[in-house]
Amino acid sequence: MPRPKILGETKRMPEERAPPPEGSLGPHDWLSRDSRTAYDEVLSSGRHFDLYISRHAEGMMRSHATKEAPRRLEVMGFMLGDVRSWQGSVYTTVRDVVTTDLKSTPSKVRFDREALPKLFGDLDGSGFDYIIVGWYHSHPGHTCFLSRTDLETQRTMFDQPYHTALVIDPLNEDVKTFKLSNQGYDEVPFSLTDALAPARPVRKRTRRLRVREV
């Protein structure tokens, strides 16, 4: 995938904010037995998760992957959200996802080169303050891991500590999230939550935040 050129960015400290409350959390239906065990361990430890994904964003990713599954085509997109801090450690939220036209085959996917300017135009025009916190893509029928190419993408485009890769297999009904590690990459447990409103334009978001967010 061609590396987008960053024309401007703002660096800011993660805002101090409590993670989504336990009552709003739930495991993804497609977690493997091992991933579910890791989920339960985080929950019972009293620690917060590294990653919270809104049910809205999860639904978008799942339906995107499922739509192309019969033709065994891979899909991909960016995950948008925030990086927060709570009691000395950092966590990430995914509120929304964006994608664009794709050049896709059963084992490879990349953004259509001509479509990228449209994608970034959409992001700029959306009016919300977002951080690209990672990317998602599907592996229809071949389970969830990072291929050599995926790892290269992660290392060149998503090398910050908060950057996550979500891989979803809509045929085996499996989903995993990964981060870079010294050895290569590690699976990281995540939770779904009802407590994050989608990242929509600021006016609308403010209205929804008052109702939905803690």
**Which residues in this chain contact Zn ion in the complex, by CB under 5 A?**
147, 150
Q: Give whichever of 150 and 174 is closer to Zn ion, judged by the CB atom.
A: 150
Q: Nearest approach, Cβ of 207 to Zn ion (angstroms)?
A: 38
Q: Write down the least CB distance from residue 74 to Zn ion, Å.
A: 7
Answer yes or no: are the C-beta atoms of 39 and 189 closer than 8 Å: yes
Closer residue to Zn ion, CB minimum distance, 134 or 198: 134
Give the residue with the Cβ less far from Zn ion, 58 or 150.
150
Contact 98, 134 (CB under 8 A): no
Run of H or E including 204: helix 202-212
Q: How far is the CB of 8 from Zn ion (least distance, A)?
A: 30
Nearer to Zn ion, 86 or 145 (CB): 145
Separation CA 164–CA 159 (nearest Å): 9
Helices assigned H by DSSP within 126-195: 148-157
CB of 144 to Zn ion, least distance (A): 9
Residues 6+ away with beta carbon under 8 Å from 36: 27
Name the burial class of residue 41, with classes exposed (0-12), middle (13-18) and buried (19+) by CB atoms within 10 angstroms of its CB: exposed
Name the residue with the smallest CB distance to Zn ion: 150
